[in-house]
């Protein structure tokens, strides 16, 4: 039976960060000023082992988790990730294992990940032209390399591949129509994400948020759209289809229309802290419990207690706060907790 939190929300989804390292420095996630050469990343012994991750996932699967998403940092920087996928895929109750990646290493790994049991892939791609992508990522990367990873994932059967575009005013909002045009008629599903105030280092300002309604208006002006029903409860993206049959898109409106009321996600950091909200201030240390030779029932009781005490609804409360209050509230960085 599923465990419910204080607002009656079940636990269905577990997002697991396997590393805090990344080979890009996207300004909205890991700005180079904060994550430069002097930044101290986690040491190997601080990271949860694959066995420790699987142990937590097994307990949570028994408590209602059905979907697992592997994140980072950049998860493909974690050596032997295929072995973790195999371990998670063998757990009773787990129906879906997905991966969120920047795509730089995906072309050479898509097939082995699919063979290990990975179900789906979400690739971050914020622009198709190199200058804009470089401005967003602060990294000299060719969009063609990411597109090759997307192609490889589709060929490996990790489909439909989802492509996430964070839209930030003053940086890449002019690319919305071009991205839509590129992915129309293809098997991938393009999703537009409002620029979010995750962490404390990205200099987030409400003025830089391009709302979902504005994004949809830009696309619908060229290609009429109609809404689609959600595929399952708790989905974060609102779905639309092109009236001419050229596929669908999604928008994630976490700023303009928060979806806290249906949130069914918990997040596990690479060093074993469980967070019950993307915008949390602190997590619950599970690594110490795991490494104290705790029995499985003790871990289960701890996890159940954490979820039952959950009342997080940060995004829904955001609009009632002044920007000064929002900026002063400490929040965990997205590169640490996973998106």
Residue-wise pLDDT for 125-181, tens only, equals: 999 999 999 999 999 999 999 999 999 999 999 999 999 999 999 999 999 999 999
Confidence of residue 190 (pLDDT cuts 50, 70, 90): very high
pLDDT confidence of residue 325 = 44
Q: Are strands 238-242 and 248-252 parallel, antiparallel or unpaired?
A: antiparallel
pLDDT more than 90, % of the chain: 77
Residue 110 · residue 158 · CB < 8 Å: yes
pLDDT confidence of residue 330 = 67
Write out pLDDT tens, residues 240-269. Answer: 999 999 999 999 988 887 778 889 999 999
Q: Residue 204: is its pLDDT beyond 90?
A: no
Q: Residue 319: is its pLDDT beyond 90?
A: no
Long-range contacts, 244-247 (Cβ 8 Å, 24+): 246/184, 246/185, 247/183, 247/184, 247/185, 247/186, 247/187, 247/189
Class of the CATH-defined domain 13-337 = alpha beta
Write out pLDDT tens, residues 294-317. Answer: 999 999 999 999 999 999 887 777
pLDDT confidence of residue 1 = 62
Q: Residue 198: is its pLDDT beyond 60?
A: yes
What is the C-alpha separation between 270 and 299, in angstroms, rounded? Answer: 17
pLDDT confidence of residue 199 = 73
Q: Residue 13: is its pLDDT beyond 70?
A: yes
SS3 call for 181: helix
pLDDT confidence of residue 294 = 93
Distance, CA of 315 to chain centre: 16
Q: Residue 323: is its pLDDT beyond 80?
A: no
Give me the chain's average pLDDT, please: 92
Higher-pLDDT residue of 48 and 236 is 48
């Amino acid at each position: 039976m599923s465990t419910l939190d204080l607002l009656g929300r079940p636990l269905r989804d577990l997002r697991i960060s396997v590393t805090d390292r990344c080979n890009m420095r996207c300004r909205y996630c890991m700005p180079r000023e904060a994550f430069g050469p002097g930044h101290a990343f986690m040491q190997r012994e601080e990271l949860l082992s694959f066995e420790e991750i699987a142990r937590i996932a097994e307990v949570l699967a028994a408590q209602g988790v059905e979907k697992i998403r592997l994140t980072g940092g950049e998860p493909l920087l974690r050596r032997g990730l295929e072995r973790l996928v195999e371990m998670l895929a063998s757990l009773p109750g787990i129906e879906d294992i997905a991966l969120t990646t920047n795509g730089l290493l995906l072309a050479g790994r898509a097939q082995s990940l699919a063979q290990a049991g990975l179900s789906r892939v979400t690739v971050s791609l914020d622009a198709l032209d190199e200058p804009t992508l470089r401005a967003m990522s602060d990294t000299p990367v060719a969009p063609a390399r990411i597109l090759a990873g997307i192609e490889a994932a589709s060929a490996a059967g990790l489909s439909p591949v989802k492509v996430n575009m964070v839209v930030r005013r003053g940086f890449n909002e002019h690319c919305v129509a071009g991205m839509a045009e590129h992915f129309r008629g293809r098997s991938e599903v393009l999703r537009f994400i409002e620029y979010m105030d995750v962490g404390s280092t990205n200099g987030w300002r409400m003025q830089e948020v391009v709302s979902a309604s504005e994004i949809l208006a830009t696309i619908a002006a060229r290609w009429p759209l109609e809404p689609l029903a959600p595929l399952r409860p708790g989905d974060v993206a609102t779905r639309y289809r092109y009236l001419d049959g050229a596929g669908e898109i999604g928008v994630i409106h976490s700023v303009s229309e928060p979806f806290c009321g249906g949130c069914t996600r918990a997040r596990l950091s690479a060093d074993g802290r469980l967070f019950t909200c993307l915008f949390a201030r602190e997590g619950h240390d599970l690594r110490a419990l795991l490494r104290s030779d705790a029995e499985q029932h003790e871990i289960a009781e701890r996890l159940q207690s954490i979820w039952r005490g959950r009342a997080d609804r940060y995004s829904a409360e955001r609009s009632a706060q002044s920007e000064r209050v929002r900026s002063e509230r400490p929040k965990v960085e997205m590169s640490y907790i996973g998106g």
